Structures are given as structure tokens and as C-alpha cells.
Amino acid sequence: MTRVLYARVPLVHGSWWLAWTEDGVCAGAGPEWDEARFVSWIRRRHDGDVAGGDPAAVPDGIDWRFVPSGFRRDVLRACARIPAGQTRTYGQLAVEAGHPGAARAVGTAMATNPLPPIVPCHRVVRGDGRIGEYGAGGPARKAEMLVREGVVVRDGVVAS
């Protein structure tokens, strides 16, 4: 049985909850979550051992075990490849994931991303350049994260 460790980990975008296995990070949650909520979320998805870990011991890589295979995993894997300082529209990400025409479904995959900020869904914006919503802290946090990465955001719109 796989053991999942977790800790609040300081990242460039603040202190986030991360969970990991020996294969990589398998879950994440924003700074607004408390420990009890994060552990409960992990336990609902994992029936093995869950324990606090050392924030300095978070491994590189992603363990995709909490993401079912298929469309959603395809989209999240494509999102994980978006470099810091760049954005993609939902439509562009659909194409990159091999599912052209599925922009709305990409939005749903982003809204249910179990790996923020490791899978950087904050880098995905609307087709008109508006940053849109962000489940891990709202549009203001999404804008702040993008600006911190060097993206120009004016009045909630990514400058081209």
C-alpha cells in the first residue's frame, strides 16, 4: 500500500499544502485550506496511510494517481507543460491536450485540478484574454500569481 505524506510547503506563490508519494506530488491545495480539510480531502481519495511529512522532502515529479486516466488527465498533463510566464487559452490547451473543440470541458478540468500549483491551472485564461475564475483563491490570486511570473495583467485581462 502506498503511503501519502503531506506538509505545508513554501512555494513562489505562497505556502501551499502538498501531498506526495515516492513517485511525486499527488495533491495540492491553496493557502486558504487548513490542515484538517486537506487531510480529509486526501483520505477520501486514498485508503492507505496518510501522515505528515517534511516539507524539504517533497520529491520532483507528479504522481497522477488521484487523476483518472482519459480526457481530464490529458488536459492536466498538457497544462503541467505550460512554462512560467506564459499563458494558454482554454481552446489552445484543448488542442495541446489532443482534444480540439473541447475548450469548455478544459475549463471543468481546470476547476477540478487536484494539483494546484504543481499543475499550473492559473496559467489558463479565457479566449478573450480575461483571466477568469480561480478555485484556489479567486481571480485576484490568479492575477497575482501570473504577475509574479512576469505576465502583464491589466484590469483582469492578460496583455498580449
Provide CB contacts within 8 A for 34, sequence distance 6+: none
- Active site members: 121
Q: What is the DSSP string of 65-123?
A: GGS-TTHHHHHHHHHHTPPTT--EEHHHHHHHTT-TT-HHHHHHHHHT-SSTTTS-GGG
CA distance 38 to 27: 9
